[in-house]
Every structure is written in structure tokens, then in C-alpha cells.
Chains A and B, each alone.
Chain A
Amino acid sequence: MLTKRIIACLDVNGGRVVKGVQFSDLRDAGDPAELALTHARSGADEIVLLDISATYENRSTLLDVVRRTARELFIPFTVGGGIRSLDDAAAVFDAGADKVTVNSAALADPALIARIAHRYGSQAVILAIDALRISSGDGNDISFGVKATGGRQSTGRDAVKWAREAERQGAGEILLTSIDRDGTRGGFDCELTRAVVSAVNIPVIASGGAGTARDFVEVFHHGRADAALAASIFHLGITPIRALKQELLAAAIPMRWPC
């Protein structure tokens, strides 16, 4: 049976893994290559590395980190942050990534998704969406807006419609982060996840808000996510991946096990 995936995310700044709350207040959490291997050994189904600084000066540092991290990692490895062109994507693939995520640059130029998909295949392109809840005046209607540049900039786009367009452009998966929940450990936004899952026919990775095993059960059951991503609860050992997977299996969610 096809399993639900547990993805460990490394937010990298200047060559180190950092962890912030709601996209700010960064703290050091270790070396990316070491953490990736540790997570793979404890049962992570995939590793995602996001360059959160993504400045021009940091590109060569990032490629070096990707190379070091990929060397002994034999599970799918995704890299994102600051990928603005096919050349940026190519450099990251050459350094050992299997997939890339695109975000702000795709918002400005959606055909970037198609260009990368044409050269490397759809399975290698993930559209990352940073979504924020928007309430209508009376508070009864909820919609989800899309933010660019690390959650700082409004785009006027709707998350569900943007996911559909990305699928048409050839994105192979959607990495959907709830800005409202990011770093809070208060649970995934299942409503957001479900809205996007229902709108597209490609896998959706839920992100933002992971705390306890219960949160994962809910995002798989109610959010109908194909995969769920978390960072700090894994790095800090708050919810070890192996224990998490055992709890999910007990809740009848298909998991890769033993791993």
C-alpha cells in the first residue's frame, strides 16, 4: 500500500540549520548533513532543505551544503529557497538534489515551473505555497491568501487557485505551509490542507504547526494530506520520528515500517 510520508525539513541559513517561530526569531539547530542522516536513520521518508536566507552571497555556501548533505543520503532529497531560474535549479540538481521547490520566483513567472518540469520531469518540481487565512468582514467566510518572499509580501493570489495553476504548469507536488501555524506546534491547518487536496490531483505536503502525533493523524485523516512535514519537533527530539510512525500505524495510517 502507498504510505503517507513523514518529511523532515531543514531550514538553513549561512550553512547551519536554524529554527524560528512564524518565520522569524532564528536559533541554531545543528549541521544540515549530520541532521539529515540522523533523520533518515530514524525513519524520515524524505528530507527537505530550505535555504531561508537565499541571498546571492549564500549561493555557493548552499551548494556546498547540498553536496555534503546528498553524499550519503539515499532517500528523496528536496532543496528550495531562492530558486529563480532554470540555471539555479540545475545547479542544485547537479549538487545532488532530487527535487526542487519554487516559490516567489514562480509567483512572478509561473512558466518557471514548466521550464524546470520540461528539463527534469514533473516529479522533480514542487511548488511551495505560503498561505495565510483571510476572514471575510462577518468572519463566516474563510479563504487562503498566498504570501511571497518568506511570508513577508502579499500577492493577491488565492492558495487553492494557485495550486491548480501550478498543477497545469507541470508541478509534481505542492508543499503547503500555513503561515498562521508555522512554528506554533498547535497542529496543522487541516482546513487549508483539505481545500488544496480537493482542488488538485497531485500529492500535497502539509506543513506548519506540527506538534504531537495527534496533529499528524488529523492532517492525514481530516486534511487528507499525502505527506506531512515538520522541523523543530524532529531536530529537538520532541517527537522522535520512529515513535511518531508507531503511533500513526496504531491509528491505521499506512507508514513505511520497519524503516
Chain B
Amino acid sequence: MIAIVDYQAGNLASVRKAFDYLGAESAITSDPQEIARASKIVLPGVGNFEATTALSGALQEAIVRAIDRQIPLLGICLGMQWMFQSSQEAPQLRGLGLFPGECEKFPAAVKSPHVGWNQLRLRGDSRLLRGLSHDSFVYFTHSYRAPLVEATVGDCVYGGEFSAVVERGRLFGVQFHPEKSGPAGLQILRNFCEL
């Protein structure tokens, strides 16, 4: 069972719907015990980095323990940003620090938020992006972006380059919304299901 972690950050129904469509069993939950039993974990979320304060205490502990047990984790949008050390959006908070660096605002030269379909440039091997072609279009909607890091396997250009996909071992993060990215997005979720 795939646990979709509910921490009151936006609408999780569309992620659930995509897993239903792919025939994968999933549940929206904020119960640490249910997360502890999950075979995979998805951290979705949109909105302000401050929302990640709800990911503390027993909930955070359950996620960290699952990571230690090599349970695959996929962070989507805000969920991915939380996997970094911090964000300029809420500097007083810490992320999980699974990937180094701080998420930052877009430069003033471009409209923010970055909304719409942009291209994913593949860099290096990725299990999550298996079967995707270079420059596939995916749907973004975000005001802060994650830096390029060693684990960046896909980047995107909007007011400069940023991390669109990070991957290390069984840890995965995508800045865009695979559940809203048409066939390319469904391929990514299918790859995650098949891990």
C-alpha cells in the first residue's frame, strides 16, 4: 500500500486518483502507524513551506524510520522542497536535509509563480524517469525552486536552471505535478509503483 501523507497542504485527491488509474493501492493518511506499514510513501503538497510544520513529531519520525528501512519515498512539489535543508519561504524551519541546499525565490525578471508546461531535461541515469524522452513537457506550479545538486537527474530552465527531479537510492523528488502532467507524468508514477 502506498501512503499519501496528508499534512493539510492542498488537495491530495488527484494524486490518489492517478494511483487508482494505474491500479496501485493507495491511502491518504496522517496516521504514523499506517505510514509505518506502507510499502511506499508519497509526500505531496502545494502552498507555503510553513505548511511543513505539520510534518513534525510522530509523523516525521515515521517518515524518517521508513527511509532508514529503504522504503521508497516520493516528494512532489512542496514535498520535494521539504527533502532539502531549508527554504527562503520560511527560513525559521528546517527541511529533512536529505538533499543539500536551500530552496529560493525566482529572480524578479520572470513571473512568479512559475505556472504551466515546461520541459524536463534529463541528466544521468534515473529509475524514476525511465522511458521518458528528453525535453518531455510536465506541469509546474510553484514560487520557490530547489538548487541543482549531485542527485539532480532532471532539470528545468525558468529564470535559470533548477532541480526538477532529484533521485538518490530510494529517495525521489519532483518539483512538477506528475499527476497533472498527462502521459509523461503517469509514466513517472508507474515507474514509482514498479520500484
- Interface set of A (CB-CB < 8 Å, partner B): 1-5, 40, 45, 70-72, 74-76, 93-94, 96-98, 120-124, 172-173, 201-203, 226-227, 256-257, 259
Choose among B47, B116, B181 the residue that contacts A227 (Cβ–Cβ < 8 A): B116
Residues of B in contact, count (CB < 8 Å): 34
Residue on B nearest A204 in the bound complex, by CB: B111
A-B contact count (CB 8 A): 90
- B179: Cβ under 8 A from any A Cβ: yes
Residue on B nearest A121 in the bound complex, by CB: B47
Q: Are A123 and B117 in contact (CB under 8 A)?
A: no
Return the 3 tightest CB-CB contacts between A and B, nearest first. Answer: A121-B47, A123-B141, A256-B137
Q: Are A122 and B113 in contact (CB under 8 A)?
A: yes
B117 to chain A, nearest CB (A): 4
Q: A70-B14, A74-B180 are in contact. Are A201 and B21 (CB under 8 A)?
A: no
- B38: Cβ under 8 A from any A Cβ: no
CA A35 – CA B125 in complex, angstroms?
A: 38
CA A13 – CA B179 in complex, angstroms?
A: 28
Q: A75-B182, A259-B137 are in contact. Are A123 and B115 (CB under 8 A)?
A: yes
CA A172 – CA B47 in complex, angstroms?
A: 11
Residue on A nearest B137 in the bound complex, by CB: A256
- B48: Cβ under 8 A from any A Cβ: yes
Q: Which B residues are CB-close (under 8 A) to A173?
A: 115
Q: A2-B117, A98-B14, A201-B112 are in contact. Are A124 and B139 (CB under 8 A)?
A: no
A-B contact pairs, 6 of them (CB 8 A): A3-B118, A45-B116, A70-B13, A120-B47, A172-B113, A227-B116
Q: Which B residues are CB-close (under 8 A) to A121?
A: 9-10, 46-48
Q: Which A residues are CB-close (under 8 A) to B157?
A: 1
Contact with A along B166-195 (1 / 0, CB 8 A): 000000000000011111011000000000
Residue on B nearest A71 in the bound complex, by CB: B17
B156 to chain A, nearest CB (A): 9
CA A5 – CA B18 in complex, angstroms?
A: 22
Q: Are A3 and B185 in contact (CB under 8 A)?
A: no
Q: Are B115 and A203 in contact (CB under 8 A)?
A: yes
Q: Are B182 and A259 in contact (CB under 8 A)?
A: yes
- B56: Cβ under 8 A from any A Cβ: no
Q: Which A residues are CB-close (under 8 A) to B183?
A: 74
Classify the secondary structure of A's interface with B.
loop
Residue on A nearest B159 in the bound complex, by CB: A2
- B127: Cβ under 8 A from any A Cβ: no
- B94: Cβ under 8 A from any A Cβ: no
Most chain B CB inside 10 Å of its own CB: which residue of A70, A203, A226? A203
Q: Which B residues are CB-close (under 8 A) to A75?
A: 139, 180-182
Contact with A along B138-159 (1 / 0, CB 8 A): 0101110000000000000110
Q: Are B115 and A172 in contact (CB under 8 A)?
A: yes
Q: Are B158 and A123 in contact (CB under 8 A)?
A: no
Most chain A CB inside 10 Å of its own CB: which residue of B47, B112, B119? B47
CA A96 – CA B18 in complex, angstroms?
A: 11
Contact with A along B88-131 (1 / 0, CB 8 A): 00000000000000000000000111111111000000000000
Q: A2-B158, A96-B17 are in contact. Are A202 and B116 (CB under 8 A)?
A: no
Q: Are B47 and A74 in contact (CB under 8 A)?
A: no
Choose among A40, A72, A74, A172 the residue that contacts B179 (Cβ–Cβ < 8 A): A74
Q: Are B116 and A203 in contact (CB under 8 A)?
A: yes
Residue on A nearest B21 in the bound complex, by CB: A72
Q: Are B10 and A74 in contact (CB under 8 A)?
A: no
CA A108 – CA B117 in complex, angstroms?
A: 33
A115 to chain B, nearest CB (A): 14
A75 to chain B, nearest CB (A): 6
Q: Which A residues are CB-close (under 8 A) to B142?
A: 123
Q: A3-B118, A96-B13, A96-B17 are in contact. Are A123 and B180 (CB under 8 A)?
A: no
B78 to chain A, nearest CB (A): 9
